Amino acid sequence: MQLTKTPNNIFVKLLLGFWLCSSLIIALIGMLPLLQQNHDQSAIPAPLERLLEKSAKRISQNPQILNSDKLTHWSRFKEFKGRPARIYLVDEYGKVLNSHKSSRSLRRFMLMADEAGHPIKHQFRDELIFGPYNFEIKGKPYSLYGRLPEHHPRPWFFFFIDNKILTLSIAIILSGLLCGLFAWHLGKPLRSLKRSADALAAGDLSSRVDMATALRNDEVGQLAQAFNGMANSVEDMVNSQQRLISDISHELRTPLTRLKLSLALSRKKGQETPEMKRIEYEADQLEQMIAELLELSRVKLNANENKRSLELAETLSQVLDDADFEAQQQQKQLHIDIDESIVIPLYPRPLSRAVENLLRNAIRYANTQVSIQAMASASASGVQIEIIDDGPGISDEADLEAIFKPFYRPQSARERESGGWGLGLAIAKAAIQAHQGKITAVNQQPSGLKINIHLPQK
């Protein structure tokens, strides 16, 4: 399937997503110095400017104070809206005339104001400094600066400027959250695709990717559409194969019936020979094999049957009675422990046939006893059924999974005397998979085989 070039493809999403994410973080961090610069160079409010202007007029009206010993005490404190304000007089060389020692904040502010080229104000941690107000006395330039030593609220971004490590940590966390959100957005349809692929691999041929994923206008959507197309083809091929097996099995029954009829007529005519008995035996074997093939096809196709919520014990009652009778005939014991309160959605006939095949297989190979028990699973997500025998088990661990394949029998069971064609366990697995369940086999210690069946509660 050829990919359509659209601006919404996955490459563009990845590029724009991570580029925009990193650009946003860089822009936010880069804006902090700009915000600080704009705040540092903001204009002086009119009331503060008038305070400096009044102080400059007083000095201009009394120029003799510049040469007085009282200069250090002159106008050092003013009232501004009920708060003390301190005024600094600075000469053309940047020396503070009315204070023996200028603070570090004032010197720093004077440099900031000189760089700005116009009167500004700046909020330090515990004080607000503003100025300069420039004026002349007898041709000499002077400047006035003011300070409000009270604490004033600082802009919010100053917190990040003063705490660079914390700002960097927040930027990393924010970048991680944005990238995580973007990754989740891209990963969600991929997770949906994986679930559908896993379900299809487990035998659920009806599994498809949801339409929300399939309708996306990017490569993920195209992949989902391709997957759904593949799943449709696989389902059609498997169903066609099962129908073919079923049709062939039906067709084989017609000549087989004629063969058995001919044998019966020959026997009536007194034509009883060892060869005729052998032909009849092989015809019976062929008929049984065809019946099992039809059953396997029927279970896999699961035609014209819907799940029903039934009691497990009641559904299996006839199968258990028959198995108990068969065990007694072989001088073996069958222990049954099934909670009668268990009710689950199931296909009665396929499940009964699956349990019947498993019990007959266990009884055949058991030495003295077989047990079957059913209980609600610990996670309350379904029902757990266990069938255990005390037979020889399966010597090769690799055979534990292969025994559920059609026509497969482990080496220990290949002798003709064992009977069967390896279809009984395949029918059981197909029936359990039709319930969206799981079946496994494990060897018991010191001997025996245990079949585990999990049926979901839905």
Backbone angles phi, psi at 238, to 5 degrees: -65, -45
**Closest C-alpha to 421, from 433, 413, 431, 430:** 413
Is the distance from CB of 450 to CB of 387 less than 8 angstroms?
A: yes
Instruction: Give the residue carrying structure tokens 């005729």.
Output: 276
CA 125 – CA 104 distance, rounded (Å): 12
Tokens 């035609």, residue?
Answer: 303
- Give 26-35 contacts, CB < 8 A, sequence gap 24+: 28/171, 29/167, 29/171, 32/157, 32/160, 32/161, 32/167, 33/161, 35/155, 35/157
- Residues marked as catalytic: 250
Both tokens of 129, joined, read 């400094």
Find out whether 329 and 292 touch, Cβ atoms under 8 Å: no
- Cα 407 to Cα 420: distance, rounded to the nearest angstrom: 9
The CA distances from residue 427 to 298, 338, 369, 430, in Å, are 9, 22, 24, 5
What is the residue whose two structure tokens read 């299809």? 200
CA dihedral sign, ordered 294, 300, 301, 306: positive
Rg of the chain, C-alpha, whole Å = 46
Residue 351's Cβ-side half-sphere holds a number of Cα atoms within 13 Å equal to 28
Can you tell me the distance from the alpha carbon of 439 to that of 430, in angstroms, rounded to the nearest whole number?
Answer: 10
